[in-house]
Amino acid sequence: MVNLSDSAEGPEGLKKNVFLTTIDNVYNWGRVRSMWPMAFGLACCAIEFMAMMAARFDLSRFGMEIIRASPRQADLMFVSGTVTKKMAPNIVRLYNQMAEPKYVLAVGACAISGGPFKEGYNVVSGIDKFLPVDVYVPGCPPTPEALLYGVMKVHEKVMGQSVRTAPWYKRDQLNEPLPMPVLGPDLYNPKDRDALKKLTAAKVEHG
């Protein structure tokens, strides 16, 4: 039994928290059952994604069958397949165009770490170098069941969030877009531009 007087904020504070917790549950329940995934197939893992969508595995049981082609209408990004250096800037651009709150699910070994192409000259060794990944689903490719489990893990994360602490509701937090990686001779983070310039200048100076 809860003793209201035990609360650090006193009975009034606890009542407020109970009220907000109920709001959180209703709000998150609605979000979990109306997520709109954005999909773009990068390689073979996308075939398993399609299987997950189809009747046998049936993503629509979660109310998630509306796959959006536009990032502006999506709140869950599946990165399914091999991320090439040429594609990475476009993936970050799409992510930046999604509205908050948004989530990222990395599908398969390639999206997680580069997979069998990890040391390839044109492959990114993990999309989490550029995007905040919420759930990783390993496998080459992961089965549709594993993908569904990953989706349920995203749901778990959403259910654990609160309107009190969610960054997208904080007045002082303007959700800054992520820096776009730039494809030069190689991919680099524009935040590192000054350091790279210095490095290049030093190399030129010393031959």
Using CB under 6 A, which of the segments 94-102, 108-116, 143-151, 159-167 binds ligand SF4?
108-116
Residues touching ligand SF4: how many (CB under 6 A)?
A: 12
Q: Say how many C-beta atoms besides its own lie within 10 A of residue 1's C-beta.
A: 2
The encoded tokens of residue 88 equal 């990475």
Query: CB 101 → ligand SF4: shortest distance, Å?
Result: 27
Distance CA 55, CA 61 (A): 10
Q: Say how many C-beta atoms besides its own lie within 10 A of residue 143's C-beta.
A: 14
Ranges within 146-205 binding ligand SF4 (CB under 6 A)? none
- Helical spans, DSSP H, in the chain: 10-32, 45-53, 88-97, 108-113, 144-159, 193-205
The verdict on 79 binding ligand SF4 (CB under 6 A) reads no
The verdict on 108 binding ligand SF4 (CB under 6 A) reads yes
Binding-site string for ligand SF4 from residue 23 to residue 62, where x marks contact by CB under 6 A and - marks none: --------------------xxx-----------------
Strand intervals (E) in 36-134: 37-41, 76-80, 103-107
Residue 54 or residue 199: which is nearer to ligand SF4 going by CB? 54
Pick from 52, 64, 106, 109 the residue near ligand SF4 by CB under 6 A. Answer: 109
The structure tokens 């536009």 sit at: 70
Contacts of 12 (CB under 8 A, 6+ apart): none
The verdict on 64 binding ligand SF4 (CB under 6 A) reads no
Binding site for ligand SF4 (CB under 6 A): 43-45, 81-82, 108-110, 115-116, 140-141
